[in-house]
Amino acid sequence: MTKTASGPLSGVKVLEFAALGPGPFAGTFLSDLGADVLRVERPGAPDPKPERFDARGRKTIELDLKRPEAVAECLRLAEHAELLFEGNRPGVMERLGLGPEVVLARNPRLVYGRMTGWGQYGPYAHAAGHDINYLALTGALHAIGTAEKPIAPLNLAADYGGGAMFLVSGMLAALLHARSTGEGQVVDVGMTDCAAYLVSLFYGMLAGGTWEDRREANLLDGAAPFYDTYRCADGRWIAIGSIEPQFYAMLLDMTGTKDRLAGAQMDKAEWPVRKQILRDVFAGRTRDEWCAIMEHSDVCFAPVLSLKEAPGHPHNVARGTFTQVAGATMPVPAPRFSATPGAVQWAPAPIERDKVTALAAWGVERG
């Protein structure tokens, strides 16, 4: 397979050790930005299916890292890479002979990314976990959901937002440092650390007395009548975010509730009553009817689209937000670059069974 990379990272070589969750997404993101990503998989791993969007755009080779010759091959690959990342529990790569100390000795300019849930040290460091657990430990999960219970926001906040995106941004920051100084380093991405960082605004509001440490009691957590989702007459939903006074005034005009919702917008004592009024109003029309009334206005409105609906929405179509690759609909790479646009380099490809060819493509001869 000939790679014709497009994107601002074209020419950057990345060695990825296969893992779960945010690791594969980080590899996809780097590939979409044009990097030459080579993934190392365990023996017997199946070829990725076309719908495995987080396996697209890179070559994969099979190496048994319990064998010394495979470890030696990885070290030679690392000599040709600028970025390397792995998602094992702390100590695993060291036991394999591929820890940062060994690898950086072979390539001092290398950026070595480490993706874990709890970080490389701490009381939880060696325990298993998932996004919901990492989010729970940061205070974020406590703040998300209904008054009755916390609700996990899929695995977007810790795995992908706090994991993959911080891994990529951290490694690219370290890459700038390595290119200017010749000094590589380790980037320790603990999803609890990064998810906590994402909640910085709310910790600031809590410290300032403008956020209550309970759910459905605050401006952005579903308590405010002007920042919530509402069920329509057809059972579908809309999202309202009319925070600013001028947008709130427009909301009252478009819903015909100016008389019933008169008074201070930020009076929390009135929020439950006002929300019920809006529930009743929105329930009186279908989602499409509310779209006809509110779309393209400054009321801060959007229909709540399903995963099947979203690709066909006119705004997403106009932006080209989704595309078809190997017969499957997937989001296109983001953000957009004016001079070096990213691209889906290719659909998920079978594992390269001919390791000699794959290694040679990186300039590595087998020992």
In the chain, the domains with their CATH numbers are: 13-198+333-361 (3.40.50.10540), 227-312 (3.30.1540.10)
Task: Please check whether residue 50 is in contact with residue 57, taking contact to mean a CB–CB distance below 8 angstroms.
Answer: no
Rounded CA-CA distance 114/83 in Å is 11
Terminal Cα distance for the chain, rounded: 24
Beta bridge partners of 36: 13
Rounded CA-CA distance 362/11 in Å is 11
Active-site residue set: 130, 159
Sheet containing strand 301-303, edge to edge, reads 227-231, 237-241, 301-303
Task: Please check whether residue 323 is in contact with residue 330, taking contact to mean a CB–CB distance below 8 angstroms.
Answer: yes
pLDDT at 364: 84
**Locus of tokens 């990272």:** 9
Rounded CA-CA distance 190/184 in Å is 19
pLDDT at 363: 82
Structure tokens at 191: 């999803």
pLDDT at 2: 45
Rounded CA-CA distance 237/301 in Å is 11
- Cis peptide upstream of residue 303 (ω within 30 degrees of 0): no
Q: 308 Cβ partners below 8 Å, 6+ apart?
A: none
pLDDT at 366: 62
Task: Please check whether residue 36 is in contact with residue 59, taking contact to mean a CB–CB distance below 8 angstroms.
Answer: no
Work out the angle between the directed axes of helices 191-198 and 200-207 (0-180°, nearest 10).
Answer: 50
pLDDT at 31: 96
**What are the CB-based long-range contacts (under 8 Å, 24+) for 42-47?**
42/18, 45/18, 45/351, 47/348, 47/349, 47/350, 47/351
Task: Please check whether residue 186 is in contact with residue 180, taking contact to mean a CB–CB distance below 8 angstroms.
Answer: no
Structure tokens at 94: 């060291």
Q: What is the pairing mode between strands 301-303 and 237-241? A: antiparallel
pLDDT at 355: 78
Each residue's pLDDT expressed in tens, for the chain with a length of 367 residues: 445 577 999 999 999 999 988 999 999 999 999 999 999 999 999 999 888 889 999 999 999 999 999 999 999 999 999 999 999 999 999 999 999 999 999 999 999 999 999 999 999 999 999 999 999 999 999 999 999 999 999 999 999 999 999 999 999 999 999 999 999 999 999 999 999 999 999 999 999 999 999 999 999 999 999 999 999 999 999 999 999 999 999 999 999 999 999 888 999 999 999 999 999 999 999 999 999 999 999 999 999 999 999 999 999 999 999 999 888 899 999 999 999 999 999 999 999 887 787 788 888 876 6
pLDDT at 63: 93
Cα dihedral 319→320→322→325 (10° resolution):
-170
